[in-house]
């Protein structure tokens, strides 16, 4: 699928037709992400950015742990309204919602001083070099020196499609190459994720830190 495919419509449909907890990427608890976030040892007011957050339970878990400066993004406004509804018992002032396309960002270009960029299962949808370059240019523009990056994507043994779309499979070396040598790999592991259907998906989780 090229850049003319309507990805916004695709993702809005995905969230409209399936309840959050039946989606093929739903996690009741984002344990692997939370473990890596803990390793970063950030203060609770650190600015955490979750590109392509969808309706991820990670945001509620971060709020429950006391994080106060979260920014979430998605190309799907439906996904972000579902996320907002799921957080109704929290103060919305602690979460900024940004509907924007990571491969053609406008609002996202205003972000700055991000302490942690956390992406689970979003980058791997960007099959074109120019989409990947735009994504990594944005990351490098908005992330602070010493900032952390968590990338969790389908690994080389993983599925070749997700949500009916082609994906690029990654390993830690490929992610390191995309980030460049101003980023240091702190942690990496493979993880088998169980979908609500019981099927499995193979992920690589990586944690990088930008040099000072
Ligand atoms: C497989 S889901 C993962 C959602 C979430 N990160 C999680 O772990 O539960 C992929 C998400 O990326 C979003 N997405 C896809 N392409 C995007 C783009 N170009 N810009 C922003 N978000 C995008 C989708 O709407 C969807 O919510």
What pLDDT is stored for residue 162 in this prediction? 95
- Please tell me if the CB atom of residue 135 comes closer than 6 angstroms to any atom of ligand 1: no
Task: Write the residue with the smallest CA distance to atom 4 of ligand 1.
Answer: 54
If you measure from the C-alpha of residue 74 to the centroid of ligand 1, how many angstroms do you get, rounded to a whole number? 6
What SS3 class is residue 17? helix
Distance 30 CA to ligand 1 centre (A): 15
At 93 the pLDDT is 75
* Domain contains 134: yes
Contact in structure between 209 and 148 (CB atoms under 8 Å):
yes
Q: Which of the four pLDDT bands, split at 50, 70 and 90, describes residue 91?
A: confident
**Residue 59 covered by a domain:** yes
Q: Could you report the per-residue pLDDT of 134-150, keeping only the tens digit for each?
A: 999 999 999 999 999 99
1 pLDDT band, cuts 50/70/90, is: low
Q: pTM here?
A: 0.98
In a domain, 150, yes or no: yes
Q: How many domains does the chain contain in total?
A: 1
Tens digits of residue pLDDT in 96-111: 999 999 999 999 999 9
Select from 209, 205, 199, 212 the least CA-distant residue to 25.
199
Does the structure show a pLDDT above 70 at 207?
A: yes
| Å from CA of 86 to ligand 1 middle | 17
Q: For the chain, give the longest Cα–Cα distance.
A: 45
Question: Is 1 within the bounds of a domain?
Answer: no
**For residue 49, is it within any domain?**
yes
Task: Give the atom of ligand 1 at the shortest distance from the alpha carbon of 76.
Answer: 25
Let me know if residue 188 belongs to a domain: yes
Q: Answer whether 79 contacts ligand 1 (Cβ < 6 A).
A: yes
Domain hosting residue 102, numbered range: 7-210
56 lines ligand 1 (CB under 6 A): yes
Q: What CATH number did the domain enclosing 155 receive?
A: 3.40.50.150
Residue 140 placed within a domain: yes
Which protein residue's CA is at the shortest distance from atom 5 of ligand 1? 53
For residues 130 and 66, give the distance between their C-alpha atoms in angstroms, rounded to a whole number.
Answer: 37
Q: Looking at ligand 1, which atom is closest to the CA of residue 101?
A: 20
Mean pLDDT of 14-20: 96
Size of the chain, expressed as the number of residues it contains? 212
| Residue 2 placed within a domain | no
Whether 170 shows a pLDDT value over 70: the answer reads yes
């Amino acid at each position: 699928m090229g850049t003319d495919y309507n990805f916004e419509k695709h993702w809005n449909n995905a969230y409209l037709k399936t309840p959050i907890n039946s989606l093929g990427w739903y996690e009741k608890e984002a344990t692997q992400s939370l473990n890596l976030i803990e390793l970063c040892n950030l203060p609770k007011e650190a600015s955490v950015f979750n590109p392509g957050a969808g309706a991820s339970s990670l945001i509620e878990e971060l709020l429950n742990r006391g994080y106060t400066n979260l920014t979430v993004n998605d190309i799907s406004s439906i996904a972000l309204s579902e996320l907002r509804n799921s957080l109704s018992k929290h103060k919305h002032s602690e979460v900024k919602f940004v509907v924007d396309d990571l491969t053609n960002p406008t609002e996202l270009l205003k972000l700055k001083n991000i302490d942690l960029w956390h992406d689970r299962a979003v980058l791997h949808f960007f099959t074109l070099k120019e989409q990947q370059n735009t994504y990594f240019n944005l990351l490098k523009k908005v992330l602070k020196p010493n900032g952390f990056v968590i990338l969790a994507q389908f690994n080389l043994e993983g599925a070749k499609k997700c949500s009916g779309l082609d994906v690029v499979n990654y390993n830690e070396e490929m992610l390191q190459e995309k980030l460049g040598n101003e980023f240091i790999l702190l942690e990496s592991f493979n993880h088998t994720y169980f979908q609500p259907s019981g099927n499995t998906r193979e992920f690589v989780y990586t944690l990088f830190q930008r040099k000072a």
